[in-house]
Each structure stands twice: as C-alpha cells, then as structure tokens.
Amino acid sequence: MKDKIIVTGGCGYIGSHTVITLIHHNYEVVIIDDLSNSSPQILDRIESISGVRPHFEQVDLKSFEATQAVFKTHKDAKAVIHFAAHKAVAESIQNPLMYYQNNLFSLLNVLKAQQENSINHLIFSSSATVYGNPSKMPITEDAPTQRSSSPYGNTKKIAEEILEDFTNSQSEISVISLRYFNPIGAHASGQIGEFPSGIPNNLMPYITQTAAGIREKLMVFGNDYPTKDGTPIRDYIHVVDLAEAHLKALERLLDASATSSLEVFNLGTGNGFSVLEMIKAFEAVSGRPLNYEITDRRPGDVPEMFASTTLAKNVLKWEASRNLKDMIQSSWTWEQNLRSELK
C-alpha cells in the first residue's frame, strides 16, 4: 500500500473517478464528503469497481473544528485532493453567499488543518472559468485571470489567489491547481457518473436526460456567436482522463518535482466542439434524434474556450487519451443503465 491521501468531495463526480484511479495505483484513500450533492451508495460502487472500500468520513468542511478533528485522525496522510465545492453556476447567481461561504470557508479550513497537521501537499480543483472571456485561443496558463460572471466562478478565482498568498508564506506547502475545462463522460463500468440534482445546468447531462425522456427538449442557448456554426465552442474532456491527471499531479507533489510552491495546469484536450456539433455527435453515437430548439443566449456564456495542453504534456507528462465518441458513449451508457438507481 502506498501513501494515504485525503480526498474531499470523493463521492462527487470527478472525486469518485479520481478515487478509483488512486485505489488502482495502490493509494490508501480517505474520503471526506458531506453528501450534500452525492450519495453514500457511491462508496458501494467504488468498492464494486475497485475491490476496495475507501475510509469514509461524513464531515462538513465549513466547520473548522470538524475539519481539524478528521485531519488529526488522518495526520499520517501525505496529500489532500480538495474537490468538495458547490458548482452550479445558476444557483450561485441566486445564492452567492452560500457559494462564498461553502467554497471559501472549506478551502480555508482545509489549508489551516493541513498546516496544523503537517500535511504538506494539496491538489486544488480549479476551473477554466478563471480565464473569464479570454482573448486568445488556445488558452495558456499565463493568460490573465478575470472576474467571472458567476459567484461560483469567482470562488475559484479567489481560491487561487488565497493559494498564491498561502504558498508564498509557507515554504513547506506545495500546491497544484488544476483548471478543468468541460468534464463529461463516465466510468467504463457504467457504475459511476455525473448525477446532477434537479435540472442540469450543463450541456451533456441535459442532452442525455432529453434523450432518455426526462426532459422534453434541449434549449440551445444562442446561435449568433462568432463561431463556425454560431453556437459556443468548448473543450470537453473525459472525466477518467481528468482522474488520471490528478494521479500525475499527486506523483509530482510526492516526488518533490514541482519547481514552485504553486503550479497551475489546464486540463483539457485542446479540441473545441460547438453545441450543434455535440448534438450531432450524440445523435450519431446513440442512434436517436435529439429534440432541440434554438433560443436566446444564456447570460455569462462566452463564445469560445479551449485549452493549450502543452504545459500539462511537458511538465505533468499527461495528456487526454479518450476521444469525443468515448465521452458521449460513456455518458449515454451511464444515463441509460444506472443513474436512476441512485438515491
């Protein structure tokens, strides 16, 4: 058994896939999750896929006392991967305080508890949203960060600023912040995947729920953007590729190969697809037509986002290996087979 790793939000979408990758590579995983947006059945699924049941601690990271207590219990952990956060853009616009409170207090409490227990490595879940509406494609990590159009996005930008100040003040701590583009897809087993609560905000779960008859039709938010077909372009990335990138980042921290105390990497494929291309690709993979209608733009959407993947390739030694068909096929299998069984 290799080192013990604390994974906050390990029952969530990206967290659960990363936990499986870590277990496959013999890490001992401790999941901390408040189950506010996930199900305890995920632990059974992780066990059934990997053969190992990770330790589980149901903790609300907004409480420093609770965070400190669980970190003290697991002070032999070598690193933390901090996924736990609220992530619904629209909800964050309705309820900004909930987002600032949850996403920022939990980060501050994790950092303080790491410091008190000498757990010196952290991987942080950031987002391409920190680039705002970037002027140059592909987006490189040195592109300026901008105020996001949503409180959710702003919590990620502020979190990165907190990490910068914290790592500048602390020579022992090293942090890798991973800026995700658009994660989609599901585990090949069909047992875990994205499980949005209520009406999905994001394109892929909306497409699969529409095809499954849960939603009547997909609304395409605008076809008058300055792109090839007028609909916005995004860099969709398979969640299992993302999970593998976390493993690479972890190994880099544990090997002490990081060249600065805070490193930032884009996680994308470098390929952009429009909303209409995604619909066509889904129809081809699933063999069924999708009911959709063009409507007005969604406020805050930007025309085009796709990653420069050079830094992750050269430094993390990671690049995405799964293509769009793999992503869509696995999302569709997940939607059809098993999501309905989760409570």
**Residue numbers annotated as active site:** 152
For residue 99, with 0-12 CB atoms within 10 Å meaning exposed, 13-18 middle and 19 or more buried, which class applies?
Answer: buried
Q: Which of 297, 316, 342 is nearest to 246 (CA)?
A: 316
Among positions 149, 202, 336, 337, the unique one binding ligand UFG when judged by CB under 6 A = 202
For residue 151, with 0-12 CB atoms within 10 Å meaning exposed, 13-18 middle and 19 or more buried, which class applies?
Answer: buried
Site for ligand UFG in 52-111 (CB under 6 A): 87, 89
Say whether residue 324 binds ligand UFG (CB under 6 A): no
- DSSP count for the chain of H helices, then E strands: 12, 13
Say whether residue 298 binds ligand UFG (CB under 6 A): yes
Rounded Cα distance, 313 and 307, in Å: 12
Binding piece for ligand UFG, criterion CB under 6 A, among 99-107, 108-116, 135-143, 198-206: 198-206
Say whether residue 203 binds ligand UFG (CB under 6 A): yes
Residue 142, CB-side half-sphere exposure with 13 Å CA sphere: 2
Say whether residue 139 binds ligand UFG (CB under 6 A): no
Say whether residue 138 binds ligand UFG (CB under 6 A): no
Residue 11, CB-side half-sphere exposure with 13 Å CA sphere: 21
| CB of 101 vs ligand UFG, minimal distance in Å | 18
Binding piece for ligand UFG, criterion CB under 6 A, among 9-17, 185-193, 201-209, 324-332: 201-209
Bridge-based pairing state of the strands 236-238 and 182-184: parallel
Binding piece for ligand UFG, criterion CB under 6 A, among 16-24, 91-99, 124-132, 315-323: 124-132
Residue number with CB closer to ligand UFG (103 or 261): 103
Say whether residue 234 binds ligand UFG (CB under 6 A): yes
Say whether residue 332 binds ligand UFG (CB under 6 A): no
Say whether residue 125 binds ligand UFG (CB under 6 A): no
Residue number with CB closer to ligand UFG (56 or 206): 206
Number of C-beta neighbours around residue 51 at 10 A: 9
Residue 2, CB-side half-sphere exposure with 13 Å CA sphere: 16
Say whether residue 218 binds ligand UFG (CB under 6 A): yes
Say whether residue 211 binds ligand UFG (CB under 6 A): no
| CB of 127 vs ligand UFG, minimal distance in Å | 5
Residue number with CB closer to ligand UFG (117 or 269): 269
Q: Hey, what are 33's tokens?
A: 């999750």
Contact at 8 Å (CB) between 81 and 123?
Answer: yes
Binding piece for ligand UFG, criterion CB under 6 A, among 90-98, 101-109, 112-120, 298-306: 298-306
| CB of 272 vs ligand UFG, minimal distance in Å | 11
Residue number with CB closer to ligand UFG (210 or 261): 210
Contact at 8 Å (CB) between 249 and 328?
Answer: no
Say whether residue 179 binds ligand UFG (CB under 6 A): no
3-state secondary structure of 45: helix
Say whether residue 301 binds ligand UFG (CB under 6 A): yes
Say whether residue 232 binds ligand UFG (CB under 6 A): yes
| CB of 310 vs ligand UFG, minimal distance in Å | 19
Residue number with CB closer to ligand UFG (153 or 190): 153
Q: Is the peptide bond before 138 cis (omega within 30 degrees of 0)?
A: yes
Local structure of residue 239 (DSSP, 8 states): H
Beta-strand ranges (E) seen in the chain are 4-8, 28-33, 55-58, 79-82, 121-127, 174-180, 182-184, 218-221, 233-234, 236-238, 262-267, 273-274, 292-295
List interacting residues with ligand UFG (CB under 6 A): 87, 89, 127-129, 153, 182, 201-203, 206, 218-221, 232, 234, 275, 298, 301, 305
